[in-house]
Chains A and B, each alone.
Chain A
Amino acid sequence: MSGLRACRPRRLAPAVMGAMLVAAYSLLAWSRAPAGPLPGASPGMPTRDRVIVGLQLEPPTLDPTESPAAAISEVLYGNLYEGLVRFAADGSAQALLAASWDISSDGLSYVFRLREGVRFSDGTPFDAQVAKFSLDRAIGPGSINPQRARLAALRGVDVLGPYTLRLRLARRSGGLLQSLAGSAFVMLSPASVATNAQRPVGTGPFCFLAWHRGDSIELSRNAAYWGGPVRLAGLTFRFIADPTAAYAALMAGDIDLFSHYPAPESFAQFQRDTRFAVFVGPSESETVLGLNHRRPPLDNLLVRRAISLALDRHAIIDGAMYGYGTPIGSHFPPSNPAYVDLTGRYPHDPAAAKALLARAGFPDGFSLTLKLPPPAYARRSGEIVAAQLAQVGIRVAVRNLEWAQWLDEVFTRHDFDMSIVAHAEPMDYDIYARDDYYFGYVSPEFKALLAALEQTVDPAQRTPLLHAVQEKLADDAVNGFLFQLPWLCVWNAGLHGIGLGGVLEVVDFHAAYFLAGTPPRGADADAVGLSSGAAAGWPSYGGLAFAIAAIGLVLLAGRQLGIAYIGGRVSMLLATLTFATVVVFMLVQIVPGDPAHFMLGLQADPAAVATLRHRLGLDATPWQRYFAWVRGLMHGDFGVSYTYRIPVRALIVERLQVSVPLAVYALLLAMLAALPLGLAHAASRDRRGAVLLSGLTQLGLAIPNFWLGLLLVLVFAIDWRWIAAGGFPGWQLGPWPGLKALTLPAIALATPQAAVLARVLDGALVDTLHEDYIRTARAQGAGEWRILWRHALPNAAIPVLTILGMQFSFLLAGAVIIENVFFLPGVGRLVFQAIAQRDLIVVQSVVMLLIFAVVSVTFCVDIAYRCVDPRVRARDGAR
C-alpha cells in the first residue's frame, strides 16, 4: 500500500516551487545597493517636511487630564494642547492662551485676559466660557485629574466677559500660576472632551491624525494656528522602549529625533558624529535613593547621614550615566535660580560613615533591601550604590521590580527599605510634607516652611524660603540625593528650529523645519510610521476561512473515522479549552498590582483611583468577572483594554497583521533551509559531508535567536544600512516594504526552526530509506536523488507537516523577544507590555486566543494525519 504513495510527489513540487519563488522575490527586494545617507547636501532633493520622533514610552491615553504619564506631554503638550500659561525656561509661568493677568493685593483673586481669535481644531472658538469649563472639569467632584491637588486653593472660576476670566482662591497660593502651566490644566473643547482620550483636540500648531497602538502617533499641521504658519507638514512619534533599538533607529536614520535618549553610553558617539546634533539639558528629575523612615534603623538620623557619606555621587554618575548628570545634595534642580549646592554637606567619606554607624550602635553594619523599578538609570545606579554601601558594612540585597510591582510594593504598601527613582514633576518638594508619601518622613518644621512658602507670592521673598527647604532636607538626610537625571536629546543635524530646554522636558516643534537638501532616510520611505490601523483586517477573514476549513475537515474525518471517535475528540477539545480559561483567569487574577493605580501613577489621589476602579469594572467579584469574560469570548468580544480603552479585538487584529506574516515568513524560510539540508544529510554517503551538514544543523540549534537578531541588526542595519533597523511600515504601500521590514526578524526566528525541521526531516528520511520499496527501487537502478525526491520525501513529509503545524502556533507566541529586538508591533510584544502594564483583560484574552490557536491547529493536524495515513489509524485501533 505504501508504495503507491510514490505518485504523490507531483503535488509537493508546485508547492515547493511556489515557496522558492516567494523566497527569491524576498531576496530580490532585500538586496538593493546600500543606500546610506550622502556625505553632503544634494540640492536637487525635495525638502523633507515630516519629522519622526522616537520616544521610550507609549502614552496610555491621549488625555492629560486623566493620566499623569509624562509620555502624553512629550507627544501633545505644546504641540497639540495648550494651557492658559506655559513654563518659561526658568520654571516661571509665561503667557500663552492667557495674554496677561492681574493678581489682587491679597492674592485671592486672579483676573486673566484671554487671547482672542483662537480656535480649536474642531472649530470651537476659545473664550472664557471654554476656559471656565476646562478648569471646572479639572477640579470638580467627579474629576480624576491627577494634579487636582495643585489647585486645592481654588474656590471658583467666574466669567467676567467674553475674554475675561477670574479665579477666586480660598487662600493664597504662591505656586498657582506654575500649576496652571502644568499639562493637566490644558484648555479643552467642550464639544470633543469625551473623546480626547483617543482623538485629542486642542488649539496647538498640530492636530491629531492617527494613533497606531504599539507603534506610533501621527500629528498633522494645523493650518489655522493662531501663532502663525507652521513649517512642518506633520509629526510622527514612534515608540521605542529598548535602548538598543533606539540607538539602531537613530543610526539607521529611521527616526529624526530622540528626546530622553535612553542609552547614555552611546551618546558620546552621537556627539562626535557630524550627521547628528545633540543636546544635554538639565531636567526637573531628581534621582533619589529613597529611604523608608518607617523601618528601623532608617529612622535614625545618624544612620541616614552615614548612608549619605557612603555614597560617591561621581562614581554613580560615571558608571550609570557615563558622566551625564549633575550631582545634587537635596531635592531641588540645579538649573533653578533658587538652587543652593549642598553636595558638600556629605562628601564621600567611608571612614566617617563607619564611625557614624558605630556611634549609632551598628559597628558591624546591618542588612537592607534595595528595590528598583525598570529604567536603566535606576538599575545601574542601584548596583553601584549597593557596592558602595557594602564598603561601610551595610549589606544590600537588590531586587528588580517592574513598574506595577514597584507601585504596589514600594509606593502604595511601603513594603521596602530603599529604592531609587527619579521624581520628574517640577517643584515637587511638597512630597516631603505628605506623611503618607512613600518615604514616611514626618517633620512639623518642614511643613511650617512649606506653609510659609504658600503664603509668599513675591519671588524675592520666596528664594530664601526655598533655600531653607533645601537645607532642611539635607540636614535631616531624608534620602540619599544622587543626581539630576540629564535630558539627553539626539537628532538629525538637518533638523532646525526645535525648541529645547523647558521644565516639562518636551520638545517644541512649532518652528521646526528641515534644512533644504537634508539627505533622505537610510532605509525606505516616509512610509515608516503609516501602518494601517483602521483596516478591518484580513485576520478576521483568515479566521473565518480557517473555521470553515476546520469544520469541513471534521465532517470529512467523521465519515472516515467514525462519528463516535470524532465526537470524542471534539468534546476533549472543548474540555481542554474550558480548563484553559479557568487556569488563565486564575493565574492573571493573582498577579499583584492594581491596574487603576498603575494607570494613575505616583501622584494619584485615592478618590480618583476608586472612581477609575469602578469605571473599569474591577470591583465586581471574580466569579462575575470570569463569566462575563467567557460569555464575551464566545461572542467574539474580548473586552476593553484598561490602558488603551479600546476593544481588545481591535488591538489583536492590528497586531496579527504583523505576527501572522512574520510567522509564515519564518516558517517558509525555515522550510527552504531545512529541505536541502535534510535531503543532503540523508543522501550523503561521504563521511565528511555528513559531519559538516550535521555540524551546521547543530550550530543552528545552538544559536539563541535573539542574539542572532542583534548581530543581524548590527551588521545589516547599522554597518551596511541595507535594511531598516526595525519597525513596521504597514501593508498599504504594497507587500514589499512590509516584507523587507520582516526579513531580518524572520531570519533570526527561522534559523533554530530550520535546524529542528532539518533534524526531523533527516530522521524521517533515514527511517523511510530503510523500507523495502526503497531497496526495490535501488535494485531497479534508480539514482539516489530520484529515490529521495520521489519516494522517501513524500512519506517523510507527514511527520514534518505535523511539526510544522505546531511550530506555526509557537512562532506566533514565542516571537516576544524578537519583536522586542526589532520593535515590531506584534502579538507577543502586546502581551509582554500588557503584563508589565497590568492590563489584565488584554493578557487574559490574548493568551486564551493563542492557546485556542495552538490547540485547534494541533487538533486539525492530528485528525488530518489520521485520515491520511491508514497505518496510524490501524495502530490506534488496536489499542
Chain B
Amino acid sequence: MRRGRGSLIAGALITALFVATALLASVWTPYDPAAIAIVAKLQPPGAAHWLGTDQLGRDELSLLMAGAKASVGVALLAVLVGAGCGVPLGLLAAARPRAIDDLIMRGNDLLFAFPSLLLAILITAVLGPGAAVAILAIGVFNVPVFARVARAAALRIWTLDFCLAARAAGKGAGAISLQHVLPNIVPVLVVQITIQFSLGVVAEAGLSYLGLGVQPPTPSWGHMLGEAQTLTALAPALAVIPGLTIVCFVLGLNLLGAGLSARRRS
C-alpha cells in the first residue's frame, strides 16, 4: 500500500540513526560523558560544545549519545524478555486444549490488571533501582502482550489447511508450532516488537525521570530531564533537548511499526 511506504522509510531511517548512535557511543563520543568540569557548567550551545554543557560541565551531546545506549539497551532487552517468554506461552495456548489456554489467558489478564508503573516502582523498591531491574519491570509487562498477539495469530494459522494436514499426518503439536506456525506469525511479531520497543523507550524515560531506571553516573535521557527541571531559568535548552530526542526516537519507531503493519496488510 502506498500509504505505508513513506512511514516505513522515514521510520527505518530514524530508528537506524538512533541505534547506530547508541553503538557508536560505546566506542567514541566527542567528550567523555562522565567528565565533570564545574568551571564550564551550563554553557549554551557553541563551538566547543555543540549542544552546550550541563550543570556539572559535562558535554550535552556526549550525554545524549551515551543516553541512547541506555534507552536502546533497556528497551530492546525488555522486548526480548517479553517476546522470549510471551511468544512460547502464546504458542502453547493456541496449540493446547482449552484448560491450558484458559490458564495462560487468565494469567495474562491478571498481569494486565496490575497498574504497570506502580508495579515497576514496587519492584525497584524491592530490588533496588538500576538497569537490570528496569529491564525486568518493563519486560514483565511485555510478556502478556506478546502472549496475546502470538496466540491470536497462531490460532489463525492453526485453522489453515497445511496445519490440519500436518496434524492428520500425526505430527505433534509442538513440532507443528515450531516448524509451521512460528515462521508464519513472524511478521505480526515484528510489528509488535517495534510497538513494544517504542513503549519501552518511553517507559524507561519515565522510570529514569523518577530516579528508578539506569542509575547515574550512567547517562539516560529521562534522568537528564529530571535534573533539568529546576535549571530552566539558567539553561532552558537542558529541559528541551532530551525531551525532543525522546520524541524523535519514539516517532521513528512508531513510523516504522506503522509502515511495517501497512505493508503486511496489503
Q: Could you tell me which A residues sit within 8 Å of B by CB distance?
A: 242-244, 247, 263, 265-266, 269, 315, 318-319, 374, 379-380, 383-384, 386-387, 398-402, 405, 572, 575-576, 579-580, 583, 587-588, 590-592, 687, 690-691, 694, 698-699, 701-704, 706-707, 710-711, 714, 810, 812-814, 816-817, 820, 828, 831-832, 835-836, 843, 847, 850-851, 854-855, 858
Closest Cβ–Cβ distance, residue A73 to chain B (whole Å): 25
The answer to whether A835 and B122 touch across the interface, beta carbons within 8 angstroms, is yes
A580 to B107, CA, bound (A): 10
A702 to B122, CA, bound (A): 26
- Known A319-B55, A817-B209, A858-B113; judge A703-B122 contact (CB<8 A): no
Nearest chain-A residue to B215 (Cβ)? Answer: A400
The answer to whether A591 and B118 touch across the interface, beta carbons within 8 angstroms, is no
Name 20 interchain pairs, CB-CB below 8 A, sorted by A.
A266-B230, A266-B233, A269-B233, A319-B41, A384-B36, A387-B36, A402-B125, A579-B110, A580-B113, A583-B110, A687-B3, A702-B250, A707-B243, A810-B115, A814-B115, A835-B122, A847-B119, A851-B114, A854-B115, A855-B109
The answer to whether B36 and A576 touch across the interface, beta carbons within 8 angstroms, is no
Closest Cβ–Cβ distance, residue B11 to chain A (whole Å): 9
Interface centre among B35, B112, B114, B116 (most CB of A within 10 A): B114
The answer to whether B251 and A699 touch across the interface, beta carbons within 8 angstroms, is yes
A318 to B38, CA, bound (A): 7
Contact of B118 among A318, A687, A706, A813 (CB under 8 A): A813
The answer to whether B234 and A266 touch across the interface, beta carbons within 8 angstroms, is yes
Residues in A neighbouring B216, C-beta threshold 8 A = 379, 383, 398, 400
Closest Cβ–Cβ distance, residue A405 to chain B (whole Å): 7
The answer to whether B230 and A263 touch across the interface, beta carbons within 8 angstroms, is yes
A353 to B203, CA, bound (A): 43
A383 to B56, CA, bound (A): 9
- Known A817-B206, A847-B115; judge A398-B38 contact (CB<8 A): no
The answer to whether B106 and A701 touch across the interface, beta carbons within 8 angstroms, is no
The number of chain B residues with a CB under 8 A from chain A is: 56
Interface centre among A319, A576, A820 (most CB of B within 10 A): A319
Residues in A neighbouring B174, C-beta threshold 8 A = none
Contact of A704 among B7, B36, B110, B202 (CB under 8 A): B202
Residues in A neighbouring B3, C-beta threshold 8 A = 687, 690
A816 to B239, CA, bound (A): 20
The answer to whether A592 and B109 touch across the interface, beta carbons within 8 angstroms, is no
Interface string of B37-57 (1 = CB under 8 A from A): 010010000000000000111
- Known A319-B55, A398-B217; judge A704-B118 contact (CB<8 A): no
Nearest chain-B residue to A862 (Cβ)? Answer: B109
The answer to whether A587 and B126 touch across the interface, beta carbons within 8 angstroms, is yes
The answer to whether B122 and A591 touch across the interface, beta carbons within 8 angstroms, is yes
A405 to B128, CA, bound (A): 8
Interface centre among A244, A579, A690 (most CB of B within 10 A): A244
A592 to B126, CA, bound (A): 6
Closest Cβ–Cβ distance, residue A878 to chain B (whole Å): 11
| B184 CB-CB contact with A under 8 Å | no
Nearest chain-B residue to A319 (Cβ)? Answer: B38
Interface residues of B in 98-118 (CB under 8 A from A): 106, 109-110, 112-118
| B139 CB-CB contact with A under 8 Å | no
Residues in B neighbouring A583, C-beta threshold 8 A = 110
Interface string of B59-89 (1 = CB under 8 A from A): 0000000000000000000000000000000
The answer to whether A587 and B109 touch across the interface, beta carbons within 8 angstroms, is no
A813 to B232, CA, bound (A): 29
A264 to B6, CA, bound (A): 48
Pair count A-B, CB < 8 A = 164
Nearest chain-A residue to B222 (Cβ)? Answer: A704
The answer to whether A588 and B106 touch across the interface, beta carbons within 8 angstroms, is no
- Known A265-B55, A386-B217; judge A704-B115 contact (CB<8 A): no
Nearest chain-A residue to B55 (Cβ)? Answer: A265
Q: Could you tell me which B residues sit within 8 Å of A by CB distance?
A: 3, 6-7, 34-36, 38, 41, 55-57, 106, 109-110, 112-119, 121-123, 125-126, 128-129, 198, 202, 205-206, 209-211, 215-217, 225, 229-234, 239, 243, 246-248, 250-251, 254-255, 258
Nearest chain-B residue to A816 (Cβ)? Answer: B117
The answer to whether B239 and A710 touch across the interface, beta carbons within 8 angstroms, is yes
Q: Would you list the 7 A-B pairs with minimal beta carbon distance, nearest first?
A: A813-B115, A244-B229, A702-B250, A263-B230, A707-B243, A702-B251, A319-B38
The answer to whether A816 and B121 touch across the interface, beta carbons within 8 angstroms, is yes
Residues in B neighbouring A402, C-beta threshold 8 A = 125
Nearest chain-A residue to B235 (Cβ)? Answer: A265
The answer to whether B125 and A247 touch across the interface, beta carbons within 8 angstroms, is no
Residues in A neighbouring B117, C-beta threshold 8 A = 813-814, 816-817, 828
Nearest chain-B residue to A701 (Cβ)? Answer: B254
The answer to whether B231 and A315 touch across the interface, beta carbons within 8 angstroms, is no
Closest Cβ–Cβ distance, residue A832 to chain B (whole Å): 6
A710 to B233, CA, bound (A): 13
Contact of B113 among A374, A576, A699, A714 (CB under 8 A): A576
The answer to whether B247 and A706 touch across the interface, beta carbons within 8 angstroms, is no
Nearest chain-A residue to B35 (Cβ)? Answer: A387
- Known A319-B36, A400-B216, A816-B117; judge A704-B206 contact (CB<8 A): yes
A387 to B129, CA, bound (A): 21
The answer to whether B128 and A399 touch across the interface, beta carbons within 8 angstroms, is yes
Closest Cβ–Cβ distance, residue B124 to chain A (whole Å): 9
Residues in A neighbouring B114, C-beta threshold 8 A = 580, 847, 851, 854
The answer to whether A702 and B125 touch across the interface, beta carbons within 8 angstroms, is no
The answer to whether B126 and A384 touch across the interface, beta carbons within 8 angstroms, is no
Residues in B neighbouring A858, C-beta threshold 8 A = 109, 112-113
Closest Cβ–Cβ distance, residue A493 to chain B (whole Å): 18
A590 to B7, CA, bound (A): 46
The answer to whether B232 and A714 touch across the interface, beta carbons within 8 angstroms, is yes
The answer to whether B225 and A814 touch across the interface, beta carbons within 8 angstroms, is no
A121 to B89, CA, bound (A): 66
The answer to whether A702 and B128 touch across the interface, beta carbons within 8 angstroms, is no
The answer to whether B255 and A399 touch across the interface, beta carbons within 8 angstroms, is no
A405 to B110, CA, bound (A): 29
A263 to B229, CA, bound (A): 10
- Known A400-B215, A587-B126, A858-B113; judge A384-B56 contact (CB<8 A): yes
Residues in B neighbouring A400, C-beta threshold 8 A = 129, 211, 215-216
- Known A244-B229, A265-B230, A580-B113; judge A817-B217 contact (CB<8 A): no
Nearest chain-A residue to B218 (Cβ)? Answer: A398
The answer to whether B116 and A814 touch across the interface, beta carbons within 8 angstroms, is yes
A109 to B28, CA, bound (A): 73
Residues in A neighbouring B121, C-beta threshold 8 A = 816, 831-832, 835
A318 to B263, CA, bound (A): 56
The answer to whether B122 and A704 touch across the interface, beta carbons within 8 angstroms, is no
Contact of A576 among B6, B110, B205 (CB under 8 A): B110
Residues in A neighbouring B209, C-beta threshold 8 A = 704, 706, 817
A315 to B39, CA, bound (A): 8
Interface centre among B122, B125, B129 (most CB of A within 10 A): B125
Residues in B neighbouring A405, C-beta threshold 8 A = 125, 128
A162 to B113, CA, bound (A): 65
Nearest chain-A residue to B116 (Cβ)? Answer: A814
A282 to B162, CA, bound (A): 81
- Known A315-B38, A704-B205; judge A698-B230 contact (CB<8 A): no
The answer to whether A847 and B118 touch across the interface, beta carbons within 8 angstroms, is yes
Residues in B neighbouring A820, C-beta threshold 8 A = 210
Residues in B neighbouring A247, C-beta threshold 8 A = 230
Nearest chain-A residue to B155 (Cβ)? Answer: A879
The answer to whether B38 and A816 touch across the interface, beta carbons within 8 angstroms, is no
A587 to B123, CA, bound (A): 8
The answer to whether A698 and B243 touch across the interface, beta carbons within 8 angstroms, is no
- Known A400-B216, A698-B258, A701-B254; judge A854-B234 contact (CB<8 A): no
The answer to whether B113 and A398 touch across the interface, beta carbons within 8 angstroms, is no
A386 to B125, CA, bound (A): 24
The answer to whether B122 and A587 touch across the interface, beta carbons within 8 angstroms, is yes
Residues in A neighbouring B115, C-beta threshold 8 A = 810, 812-814, 847, 850-851, 854
A707 to B206, CA, bound (A): 9
The answer to whether A387 and B118 touch across the interface, beta carbons within 8 angstroms, is no
- Known A835-B122, A855-B113; judge A706-B206 contact (CB<8 A): yes
